[in-house]
A and B are shown apart, each in its own frame.
Chain A
Amino acid sequence: MGRRVAARLGQAVVVVWIVATLAFVLIHAAPGDPFSFDAPTVSEAVRAHWRAEFGYDRPLATQYLLWLGNLAHGNLGYSHSMHEPVRDALAAALPRTLVLMAVALVGAFVLGILLALFQVEHRGTRRARWAGNVALFFYSVPDFWLALVMVLAFAYWLPILPAGYPVSMATHDYMAPLAAFVDSLRHLVLPALTLVLLTTAGIARFQRNELLDVLPLDFVRTARAKGLSERQVVRRHVLRNALIPTITLFGLSMPTLLGGSVFVEKVFAWQGMGWVVVNAIGLRDYPMVLAGVLVGTVMVILGNLAADLAYGLADPRLRVD
């Protein structure tokens, strides 16, 4: 088991290296460089100085090694859109994204699995078809549009929840701890709900297919022959088997979740990594944008790694005694 972890980690490092190299190629192939951004107050001399300081005048090979070295130390460059080192900007923003994604992930998995169970237990009925249609609807909705509609619906037409930012910007710092906590929660509801709605559908579709794949298998017939009710058969025997592949979905849904969070964060001004990256686009803040890609990649890799390990534990056939 330890050997598998080590092997996977090794692969992960290789992948990160490949992506880092790609990022390097991108920076240097793109028109201009990180220091040619639009800012009339910054003189050419200052830019030249920065270029020298960050080694942009050195030969490409040296720059590449410097780049890798910097990355290994966690030095991702300087972000002029945030006026601070990229690392610091991300350190502040990332936790907010993680909170949003964690809530969304848990919510989506629970809801998705329940929805799939419902569809399979009532398969063939109109209830199940409607549930499927609702899932399909949310699967087809654009992320940013759902976010906009949520804001319209619950912050304006039915003003019950706040529409932006992680906290009430004006008053949060003056609140008592409990009130501040509640305030944060209230701000979390809409963006998290949006993400949950977007992701649940995909998980429900996958889980439903898995359940239907297991249903005709021999041991399900054996369970029925033992006298179990259809409900017991599905919930005890079928689900347990069909949940195992869903573990891989944990890793597989990370890219989608990250993508979705970019749009959700922008609409809700949720100052997480996605929001920071989107702001960086307009200002040509290359280091920030690329850092976003790298961090996103690492998160996906970690997600897949975790899913892989969990899979090995969950399926008794894979456990090495």
Chain B
Amino acid sequence: MLTERARAAGRAWARLAPGARLALGVIAVFVLGAVLAPWLTRYQPWQQLDVVRLKSLPPSWAHPFGTDRFSRDVFTRILYGAQLSLSIATLAVLVSSTVGLLYGAMAGYTGGWIDAVMMRFIDAMLSVPRVLMLIAVLALWSPVPVPALVLLIGLTGWFDVARIVRGQAMALRDREFVVAARALGANPARIVWRHVLPNVLSPVIVAGALAVGNVIVLEAGLSFLGIGVHEPMASWGTMFQDAANQFVSTWWAVIFPGIAIVATVLAFNTLGDALRDLLDARQLPGQPAADLPEPAHG
């Protein structure tokens, strides 16, 4: 069982485009950087080294990415910031993927007026711009603790996933193996769990990879506005809060964290695209592979 999975993973790796492998490498680098932060730098992210002499220093050997206005080492802050930014993004996407998956599977499989109502609700929620909605809630309850932030971001991001899953679930409802399960008297929840869910996972995984990138950017933006992660916690976004005021003179405090974000998000987006190509080619079980020539009709 385990070796079967390992072999499938190996095959998947072989079929991944080189760009995607690079992306996975980049993500691994950042994750490792986040995990090994205490060993990779001797400073602390909040540590003001010497506000008089060491503030706003351009990049040098001692400080590869320079120091910011408060003489904090930028490289250190990027490493430690990765911990928070990456965790928030992953957890939030887990929340939204799970909610979207369950909601969509239920709606699509049940059908009828229940499905109609559930979808209307999604339509309504999609009409509210996510950033504005988050700004409103976060501002009203400011300061919001990080777990709540994760939940909020997650709970505002599941609507698209739910829609996709619902479409797939509806298509699956009429396929033979589901009809067979129904005929055997299995109850709907069991059918959804055992037959529908495993088959709608592919688009969820693809959407999830792309979503992680989105959330990193979103969290950074919210922290930039001062309503995401709050001091003394440091994520990539908070680094821009004070830097933005003086970024002309301390451009390194803005450029390098930005490059870190762009690199990570680029990696997740590339990964998401590659996963989409990989998983699409297999399609749902039972359909012919795409690369053999189609037989003539008749």
Contacts and interface: CB of A to CB of B under 8 A. Distances in A.
A238 interface: no
Contacts of B132: 258-259, 262, 277, 292-293, 296
Interface of B: 120, 123-124, 126-133, 135-137, 139-142, 213, 217, 220-221, 224-227, 240, 244, 247-248, 251, 254-255, 258, 261-262, 265-266, 269-270, 273
B127 A142 contact: no
For chain A, what secondary structure do more than half of its interface residues adopt (helix, strand, loop), or is it mixed? Answer: helix
Contact of A289 (B135, B240, B255): B135
Nearest to A27: B140
Interface string A280-321: 111010100110110011001100100000000000000000
Contact of A281 (B120, B130, B227, B270): B227
Given A286-B139, A293-B129, 18 more contacts: A11-B120, A11-B123, A19-B128, A31-B140, A136-B269, A141-B262, A144-B244, A145-B240, A145-B254, A145-B262, A149-B258, A152-B251, A152-B255, A255-B131, A266-B225, A281-B139, A289-B140, A290-B136
9 contacts: A15-B123, A27-B140, A136-B266, A143-B217, A255-B128, A259-B129, A280-B139, A282-B226, A296-B129
B20 to A, nearest CB: 12
Contacts of B133: 293
Contacts of A106: none
Interface in A157-213: none
A133 to B, nearest CB: 8
Contact of B258 (A15, A145, A256, A304): A145
Contacts of B127: 15, 19, 297, 300-301, 304
A306 B130 CA distance: 20
- Among B132, B247, B262, max chain A CB count under 10 A is at B132
Given A148-B244, A148-B247, A296-B129, A142 B221 contact: yes
Contacts of A284: 139
A300 B217 contact: no
Contacts of A304: 127
Nearest to A32: B140
B224 A144 contact: yes
Interface in A12-57: 14-15, 18-19, 23, 26-27, 30-31
Nearest 5 interchain pairs by C-beta? A259-B131, A30-B140, A140-B265, A255-B129, A281-B139
Contacts of A256: 129
- Among A137, A145, A277, A280, max chain B CB count under 10 A is at A145
A278 interface: yes
A251 B115 CA distance: 23
A109 B137 CA distance: 31
B267 to A, nearest CB: 9
A139 interface: yes
A140 B139 CA distance: 26
B269 A139 contact: yes
Contact of A258 (B120, B131, B140, B225): B131
A150 to B, nearest CB: 12
Nearest to A136: B269
Given A15-B123, A301-B127, A262 B258 contact: no
Contacts of A286: 139-140
A258 B226 contact: no
Interface of A: 11, 14-15, 18-19, 23, 26-27, 30-31, 136-137, 139-145, 148-149, 151-152, 156, 254-256, 258-260, 262-263, 266-267, 277-278, 280-282, 284, 286, 289-290, 292-293, 296-297, 300-301, 304
Nearest to B254: A148
Contacts of A282: 226
Given A30-B141, A152-B247, A286-B140, A263 B224 contact: yes
A252 B240 CA distance: 29
B248 A156 contact: yes
A277 to B, nearest CB: 7
A284 to B, nearest CB: 7
- Among B127, B141, B266, max chain A CB count under 10 A is at B127
Contact of A137 (B140, B141, B142, B266): B266
Contact of B217 (A31, A142, A290): A142
A14 B266 CA distance: 38
Given A140-B262, A255-B129, A258-B131, A14 B124 contact: yes
A266 B266 CA distance: 24
